[in-house]
């Protein structure tokens, strides 16, 4: 008998300073759940939900967002309450290989994984001990064995400790063949291979040629689903005739506006139907898209942030969203919609 499951995926979970300030409670704890309340029902419908955690959970600090004087990059951290909020929202797996995973050093990276384990959130891409050739995650979802791989193009010039290069799955032009071999090896062990790639150029809607080359190589090597992150804006998605799916960038799931570019407020929830036939063949049979918008609401309790499903917000305005922000949301979505050509957007 054939088996079907639903897989949902979102983009960057980027907890920048103002988001943390708005979530801080009177007792100096943090309440993040309301940020996700409008999209949680959509995610909870899925059998497997994957997101990109683009912040360490490195412990309490006076300032969670800092600048790195040596590299010039921003460095992030987030209170542990985010993990429980993501679990409650419906997340099962978090990709942790990205350019901010070392923002609080090796100690912060290891602590992040410990916090995720405590909240029963599976993860892959970064490691507290040498994974060897098992630098991936394998899950069983309703009898379909799924392998999840996560790679990042770098760590914002923060060096990994000597002898511990295994802490982060790093991708560069010189090791594409090695990564393709990883995908082929994993494909022999599982029914479905999902690859999370943190690559590309920020704020660019068109994938770089090298990103296209890598995605094609990994699809040819046995990947069934490729989920791209890092550009912070939506990039094209496609479903192949052979039953594979790729999106070059899911955009931001939650973030403040970056680089004064309103397209960084826009992301997408990808909803995939995965079917395993009685002969063992597995294909992505359908891909649907729910566009989202990270907005800043004016409420009786001050400024709050929330992720809005755009189509629902277009039909019924969200209380607290300004008219100008709503108009901008609609404008950006109309501009972005052609990148998600499933015929229903």
Using one digit for the tens of pLDDT, what is the confidence trace for 14-50? Answer: 999 999 999 999 898 999 999 999 999 999 999 999 9
Mean predicted confidence (pLDDT) in 287-294: 97
- pLDDT score of 285: 96
Interval 229-237 mean pLDDT: 98
Q: What is the pTM of this model?
A: 0.97
Domains and CATH numbers, the chain: 3-275+286-339 (3.60.21.10)
Strand runs labelled E in the chain: 3-13, 48-53, 66-67, 74-75, 93-95, 122-124, 137-141, 144-152, 192-198, 225-229, 237-239, 245-247, 252-254, 266-276, 282-299, 302-309
Q: What pLDDT score does 281 carry?
A: 95
pLDDT band of residue 178 (cuts 50, 70, 90) is very high
| Residue that wins the pLDDT comparison between 174 and 275 | 275
> 269: pLDDT confidence band, cut at 50, 70 and 90?
very high
Q: What is the largest CA-CA distance in the chain?
A: 59
Q: How many CB atoms sit inside 10 A of residue 65's CB?
A: 19
Pairing of strands 66-67, 74-75: antiparallel
């Amino acid at each position: 008998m054939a088996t079907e499951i639903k897989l949902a995926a979102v983009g960057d979970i980027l907890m920048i300073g103002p988001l943390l300030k708005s979530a801080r409670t009177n007792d100096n704890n943090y309440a993040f759940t309301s940020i996700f309340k409008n999209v949680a029902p959509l995610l909870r419908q899925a059998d497997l939900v994957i997101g990109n955690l683009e912040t360490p959970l490195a412990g309490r600090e006076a300032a969670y967002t800092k600048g790195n004087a040596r590299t010039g990059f921003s460095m992030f951290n987030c209170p542990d309450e985010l993990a429980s909020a993501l679990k409650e929202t419906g997340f099962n797996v978090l990709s942790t290989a990205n350019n901010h995973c070392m923002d609080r050093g090796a100690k912060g990276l290891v602590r992040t994984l410990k916090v995720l384990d405590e909240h029963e959130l599976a993860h892959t891409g970064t490691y507290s001990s040498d994974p060897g050739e098992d630098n991936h995650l394998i899950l069983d979802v309703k009898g379909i064995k799924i392998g999840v791989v996560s790679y990042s193009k770098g760590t914002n010039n923060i060096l990994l400790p000597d002898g511990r290069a295994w802490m982060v799955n790093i991708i560069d032009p010189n090791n594409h063949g090695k990564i393709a071999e990883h995908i082929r090896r994993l494909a022999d062990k599982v029914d479905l291979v999902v690859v999370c790639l943190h690559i590309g150029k920020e704020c660019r809607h068109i994938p770089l040629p090298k990103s296209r080359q890598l995605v094609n190589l990994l699809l040819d090597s046995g990947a069934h689903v490729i989920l791209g992150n890092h550009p912070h804006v939506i990039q094209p998605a496609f479903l192949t005739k052979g039953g594979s799916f790729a999106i070059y960038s899911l955009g931001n799931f939650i973030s403040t506006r970056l680089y004064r570019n309103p397209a960084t407020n826009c992301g997408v929830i990808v909803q995939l139907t995965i079917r395993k036939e009685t002969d063992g063949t597995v294909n992505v049979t359908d891909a649907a898209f729910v566009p989202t918008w990270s907005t800043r609401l004016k409420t009786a309790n001050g400024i709050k942030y929330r992720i809005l499903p755009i189509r629902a917000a277009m039909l019924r305005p969200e209380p607290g969203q300004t008219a100008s922000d709503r108009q901008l949301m609609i404008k950006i979505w109309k501009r972005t919609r052609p990148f998600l050509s499933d015929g229903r957007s």
